[in-house]
Amino acid sequence: MIHLTEEESARYAGHEIAFDAAHKALVAASDPASKNFPVVLGHCSDPADRFTVKSGTGGPLAGLKVGSYFPGNDAIGQPRHNSLILIFDQSTGRIGATIEGGKLNGYRTAAADAVATDALARADASVLTLFGTGHQAFYEAEAVARTRDLDRLLVVGRSTDKRDAFIARLRDAGLPAEAGDAEAACRAADIVVTATTATGPLFDAAWIKPGTHVSSMGSDRTGKQELPPALLRSARLFCDLPSQSRVIGEFQHAYPEAEITAIGAVLSGDVRGRETADEITVFDSSGIALQDLYIAEAILEAAGRSIGSDR
């Protein structure tokens, strides 16, 4: 069995490899032959320490990802999020590879946002508003910035100190970050990305101007919510997996008759994405196992490893 440590997977991780893997995974997810199985939502002895199990199969790949969220890790200098991917060797039924992927998961999640934004945002989009200043938000900013030439990156956060430190980090990475008030930042935005743990709307639907693209990246569990339901009534809705988004994603808050399109169908050319410069598009990413399997495959290839070769 192949095992890649956190340090090894991080060595090969990056936005380019993640973007390519996410594109393949999202296209595969819209293929009826691929399967993403129901998500397991669990917690540890302390209910605040949570974990998620996502599993699926697509093409030659089958396996699962266990993701954890331990909010108290801040106090011990450890990341809140961690991740472990397991891929089956389908010739034997044994686990063929395990990949520790805390950092890899940050790239993987942001890549879905980047792929969807690239497909749905206006070509001339130049102002990004980002809600969130945590672990994942930095990856989102870098990934989306690779899809459009940004003049401004407006950061909205609850804590002024954390927001300012986050902005400094973004500027060090060469991004045009500045602080923004929620309403003014939304009204100025061509792209809005939410990467939070919110359980209620972060802004008013009326603040989103025509032609804006919105990505909700934080809703991956029942009860989570980042967007106002009124926005979901007026926008065109896209996601990684409609059946999952309705249960644990942002679209659990969409009205029952809402038409929700898998972004993979847009990427494969089966469905049109943005049709007019004025329409508002929304992408919900609740995260699917195929993203983990495809990026794991790419990392193994980059490391010169293949399942079955170590037997």
Tell me which residues are annotated as active site: 65
Residue 147 identity: T
Residue 295 identity: I
**Rg for the chain (alpha carbons), in Å?**
19
CA neighbor of 107 nearest in space, from 142, 63, 146, 66: 142
CA neighbor of 115 nearest in space, from 88, 72, 147, 84: 147
The three-state DSSP-derived secondary structure of 180-218 is CCHHHHHHHCCEEEECCCCECCCCCHHHCCCCCEEEECC
Torsion on CA atoms 167, 170, 172, 177, rounded to nearest 10: -60
Check: CB of residue 231 under 8 Å from CB of residue 205: yes
Query: What span, in angstroms and rounded, lies between the C-alpha atoms of 128 and 148?
Result: 9
